[in-house]
Structure 1
Amino acid sequence: TLDVELLPNEVDTIAEFGEVLALSDGGEVTFGVPVIDGAKVTAQVLSHYKDKKLMVYKYKAKNRYRRKRGHRQTYTRLQIRDIELSKPRAPRRLSAAAAAPAETDGGEENS
Structure 2
Amino acid sequence: MQVVVRSGGKQYRVEEGAVVTVDRLAGDPGTTVTLEDVILLSDGDRLEAAPKARVTAEIVAHTKGEKIRVLHYKNKTRQRKQSGQRQLGTQLKITKIEA
Place the TM-score, normalised by the shorter chain, in its bin. 0.7 to 0.9
Root-mean-square deviation over aligned CA pairs:
1.3
Residue 74 of structure 2 corresponds to residue 60 of structure 1: yes
Residue 94 of structure 1 corresponds to none
Residue 42 of structure 2 corresponds to residue 28 of structure 1: no
Which deviations, in whole Å up to 9, do the C-alpha atoms of 1:76-99 show, x marking residues without a partner? Answer: 0011011112xxxxxxxxxxxxxx
Point out the structure with the larger strand share: 2
Give the alignment's TM-score, normalised by structure 1. Answer: 0.67
- Any runs of at least 4 consecutive aligned residues in structure 1 with deviations exceeding 4 A, and if so which? none
CA separation in 2, counterparts of 1:8 and 1:59? Answer: 37
Larger Rg: 1
Structure 1 segments unaligned to the other structure (5+ residues): 86-111
Shift of 1:28: 2.1
Q: Helix, strand or coil for the counterpart of 2:34?
A: strand
Residue 24 of structure 2 corresponds to residue 6 of structure 1: yes
Which deviations, in whole Å up to 9, do the C-alpha atoms of 1:10-65 show, x marking residues without a partner? Answer: 1011100111111221232223xxxx331100001100011121111112222322
User: Counterpart amino acid of 1:70?
Assistant: G
In percent, how many aligned pairs have the same letter?
36
Q: Helix, strand or coil for the counterpart of 2:80?
A: strand
CA separation in 1, counterparts of 2:75 and 2:96? Answer: 54
Structure 2 segments unaligned to the other structure (5+ residues): 1-18
User: Counterpart amino acid of 2:52?
Assistant: G
Residue 57 of structure 2 corresponds to residue 38 of structure 1: no
CA separation in 1, counterparts of 2:55 and 2:43? Answer: 14
Residue 89 of structure 2 corresponds to 75
Give the alignment's TM-score, normalised by structure 2. Answer: 0.74
